[in-house]
Amino acid sequence: MIDQSVTDFIQIGYQNQEIHPLDVLLTQNQLLALIGKQALASGIKASTPLPNRLETMDSLVDYAVQEKVIGNNEAERDILSAKIMNLITPLPSEINRTFWELYQESPIAATTYFYHLSQENNYIKTRAIEKNIKFIKSTVFGDLEITINLSKPEKDPKQIALAKTAPASFGYPTCLLCMENEGYEGHLNHPARSNHRIIRLPLTNENWGLQYSPYAYYEEHCIFLSQEHKPMKLEKATFTKLLSIVEQFPHYFVGSNADLPIVGGSILSHDHYQGGRHTFAMAEAPIDFPFALTDYPSVEAGLVKWPMSVIRLRSSNQTELVEAATLILDQWRFYSDESVAIFAETNGELHNTITPIARYKKDQYELDLVLRNNRTTQQYPDGIFHPHQDVQHIKKENIGLIEVMGLAILPPRLKKELSEVEHYLLDEPHQLDISHQKWADELKRTKKITKETVGEIIEDAVGSVFLRVLEDAGVYKQTTEGKAAFKRFINSFAHSKGGEKIGHFS
């Protein structure tokens, strides 16, 4: 059977034109070496029809485990899987050459090629991503997307024990986003990257890269990363880079996580952005209050109807758009309004920042600036503008770029926990987590629950919690007081260079 799997794997690569006829024997012998096999039986013909490539890869890895070439744990299996798929993955030079040749045809042709390649070589974990639970919550702000993220495998106890005895880091690659990850074998404390490739691209006189996310949360979920390992910093140059990216790839949105803890992303040590080919609810949200900036006549501005606090700027003039966004960022950094608990600084620590998102729509560039504040108090130790305690049974992690736009990434624990909530609501034997007790009792009291409706009721309730999470993270609430305070902030910067007030609401 293993001889058949080797033969089929090579034939699939040959048929897909990933292995040149002259390279068949070389690739075959490299594959045999990887799985610890010394010889291949003669006369084996490829299966008809050819099997699924990933299933064939699984059988090759299983053989290596059986022969004790690798240990039977997730990390070592992933490392070998990536090495096997690297055999059919072109070198970075070849991928980059093809990408930029296709780019001359169209940016879509180039990204489609690279996205398909990243799926075919199993860098994008398509099978794992399919496990995610997804549903929609309709709200007055649009359709929020709810996902329970099951794609990233949890480490088993054996792997955890092995990882504790292995070096935590060799200092190379410096971090998970550094370009040194391209082709890196990986180890128990670092993911396998043998089949990883990066497109090199110029970005405002800097060297950057484009790659796809292994555990994509949406269509063509990609990452733009600096070649230099430097911390994320939100500044004027950020807006310039974001607009430059959507100029090069107008079919993609791109955004940056905020640059402060609590309201920022999980990796603040390496400058990077996230993008992709997906339309989020926030992008469809209308302008609630237009206002004018006469120093930037080409820029349309307004407050977005969204549970978080969003200023939208639109223009065909990139220079004016960057200047207007920088004006708002600079003003927000040091803006306080005690009446709505916004303090720009406490004890020398700055709290205000922005989550920016760029798009190209209807022949204009668009920047959404989401105002963020990471201040904590004794009452809200996790953050004033962070999911509050009463919703943390569903979501207690940071609210980053993707969730800001209306896609919830909920923890895998919820699959089992919500199943127990369902049993509880149906008065069946259950192991209800105490954190869900109050919420479940409220559902029992207010909803008509049957075997047929319970699943839909729970999904709808989870979606309502995510809406609350976004409202908690919004610095200006959707109340009369909150909207008035938001307008006060607008008027704080809406002045011309001569000093007269220029901001006005339509």
Beta strands in 153-205 (DSSP E): 199-203
Is the distance from CB of 202 to CB of 111 less than 8 angstroms? no
Give, for all 506 residues of the chain, the pLDDT tens digit: 999 999 999 999 999 999 999 999 999 999 999 999 999 999 999 999 999 999 999 999 999 999 999 999 999 999 999 999 999 999 999 999 999 999 999 999 999 999 999 999 999 999 999 999 999 999 999 999 999 999 976 655 565 566 566 666 678 999 999 999 999 999 988 999 999 999 999 999 999 999 999 999 999 999 999 999 999 999 999 999 999 999 999 999 999 999 999 998 778 899 999 999 999 999 999 999 999 998 999 999 999 999 999 999 999 999 999 999 999 999 999 999 999 999 999 999 999 999 999 999 999 999 999 999 999 999 999 999 999 999 999 999 999 999 999 999 999 999 999 999 999 999 999 999 999 999 999 999 999 999 999 999 999 999 999 999 999 999 999 999 999 999 999 999 875 444 444 444 44
The amino acid present at 3, given as its one-letter code, is: D
| DSSP state for residue 391 in the 8-state scheme | G
Count the helix, strand and coil residues of the chain and give each as a percent rounded to the nearest 5: 40, 20, 40
206-212 and 345-346 beta bridge pairing: unpaired
Is the distance from CB of 86 to CB of 194 less than 8 angstroms? yes
Distance between CA atoms of residues 214 and 123, nearest Å: 6
In the three-class reduction of DSSP (H, G, I as helix; E, B as strand; rest coil), residue 401 is classed as helix
